[in-house]
């Protein structure tokens, strides 16, 4: 159908072709966003930010990715999960004020089975020399203010959730 519509637009003006491309793109995005599978995977999370994982420095040339340890209020015990946020610099970021263990937040996130990791795996970084040879390892965890340390965490992979820019905007 897209091919037929595009060939129809070939004999129209350039403005008509641009408008048609925009309409087709919007229709594709709406169909993707309305899929029931995506809606079923979305969860409402309530809890506290425990730590931010050190990652590569932010860049304005492409997408950035940050990871966080979040404690979900659940019964009988709170559960620790990984939050992943992939964003561009012009999109909202989690404010520093959110990293206080006494503040409780509620937002939506999508569960992602492919990024489950242990605390050791997510925070481990290799230290390289000038030639690129591995000379050691380093663990990069920045705990939230007033957060308890995670030293006694088991070595089982933690569930992982992906944040959207709308979710991050609600954290403000």
28 with 58, same domain: the answer is no
pLDDT tier, 13 (very low <50, low <70, confident <90, very high otherwise): low
166 with 125, same domain: the answer is yes
27 with 89, same domain: the answer is no
Round to whole Å and give the CA distance between 17 and 19.
5
154 with 125, same domain: the answer is yes
Q: Would you call 87 helix, strand, or coil by DSSP?
A: strand
Q: List helix spans (H) across 78-144.
A: 119-123
Report the domain count for the chain. Answer: 2
21 with 85, same domain: the answer is no
65 with 127, same domain: the answer is yes
C-beta atoms surrounding 29 within 10 Å: 10
Q: Which pLDDT belongs to residue 2? A: 45
Is it the case that residue 21 has pLDDT exceeding 60? Answer: no
99 with 119, same domain: the answer is yes
63 with 23, same domain: the answer is no
Is it the case that residue 71 has pLDDT exceeding 60? Answer: yes
Question: Which residues share a beta bridge with 85?
Answer: 66, 163
6 with 59, same domain: the answer is no
Helix %, strand %, coil % of the chain (to 5): 30, 35, 35
Q: Would you call 89 helix, strand, or coil by DSSP?
A: coil
Pick left, alpha or beta for residue 38 (phi over 0 → left; psi -120 to 50 → alpha; otherwise beta).
alpha
Range of the domain at 9: 2-34
27 with 83, same domain: the answer is no
Is it the case that residue 139 has pLDDT exceeding 90? Answer: no
* CB proximity list for 86: less than 8 A, separation 6 or greater: 63, 64, 65, 162
pTM across the whole model:
0.70
Q: Which pLDDT belongs to residue 70? A: 94
17 with 81, same domain: the answer is no
pLDDT tier, 22 (very low <50, low <70, confident <90, very high otherwise): very low
Round to whole Å and give the CA distance between 128 and 135.
6
Is it the case that residue 20 has pLDDT exceeding 50? Answer: no
């Amino acid at each position: 159908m897209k091919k037929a519509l595009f060939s129809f637009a070939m004999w129209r003006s350039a403005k008509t072709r641009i408008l048609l491309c925009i309409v087709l793109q919007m229709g594709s995005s709406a169909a993707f966003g309305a899929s029931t599978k995506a809606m079923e995977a979305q969860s409402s999370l309530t809890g506290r930010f425990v730590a931010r994982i050190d990652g590569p420095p932010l860049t304005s040339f492409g997408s950035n990715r940050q990871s966080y340890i979040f404690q979900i209020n659940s019964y009988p015990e709170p559960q620790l999960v990984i939050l992943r946020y992939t964003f561009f610099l012009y999109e909202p970021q989690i404010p520093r004020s959110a990293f206080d263990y006494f503040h409780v937040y509620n937002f939506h996130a999508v569960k992602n089975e492919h990024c489950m990791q242990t605390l050791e795996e997510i925070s481990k970084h290799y230290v390289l020399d000038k030639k690129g040879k591995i000379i050691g390892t380093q663990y990069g965890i920045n705990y939230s203010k007033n957060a308890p340390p995670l030293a006694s965490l088991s070595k089982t992979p933690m569930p992982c959730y992906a944040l959207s820019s709308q979710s991050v905007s609600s954290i403000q």
